Amino acid sequence: ELKVEQNPLFLSMQEGKNYTIYCNYSTTSDRLYWYRQDPGKSLESLFVLLSNGAVKQEGRLMASLDTKARLSTLHITAAVHDLSATYFCASGTSYGKLTFGQGTILTVHP
């Protein structure tokens, strides 16, 4: 059974600081997705990583994928309050099934 584990599960950051969320998955997969969820809202796609060594950046967020280590990271640079949300990673199969991690609740405070 595929397992996806994120850490930390809770992250409290000061504005302007940097931090990384880690996502480990248990079986071979070359598709890794990151989503954002605001309270009471649905999931918004952030990044799709499809090959070993893939790196994508959007604003203050950068995601990377290491398929050999079965590890993806989401790096936050100079955090701002608007980034406060829950972030999920999900590992995908070749036919589209996603297995999600538990989510990381990020709170950015002044």
Partner 1 sequence: EAGVAQSPRYKIIEKRQSVAFWCNPISGHATLYWYQQILGQGPKLLIQFQNNGVVDDSQLPKDRFSAERLKGVDSTLKIQPAKLEDSAVYLCASSSLRATGTGVRSYEQYFGPGTRLTVT
Stretch that binds partner 1, among 17-25, 58-66, 73-81, 91-99 (CB under 8 A): 91-99
Contact positions with partner 1 (CB under 8 A) in 4-63: 4, 30-31, 33, 35, 41-45, 48, 50-51
Q: Minimal distance in Å, beta carbon 89 to partner 1?
A: 9
Query: Any idea what the Cα angle at residue 67 is, between residues 6 and 80, rounded to 5°?
Result: 45
Which amino acid belongs to residue 15?
Answer: E
- 10-22: buried (b, 16+ CB within 10 Å) or exposed (e) per residue? ebebeeeeebebe
Residue 96 CB, shortest distance to partner 1, in Å, is 3
41's CB contacts (< 8 A; 6+ apart) are none
Question: Which residues contact partner 1 (rule: CB under 8 A)?
Answer: 4, 30-31, 33, 35, 41-45, 48, 50-51, 88, 90, 92, 94-103
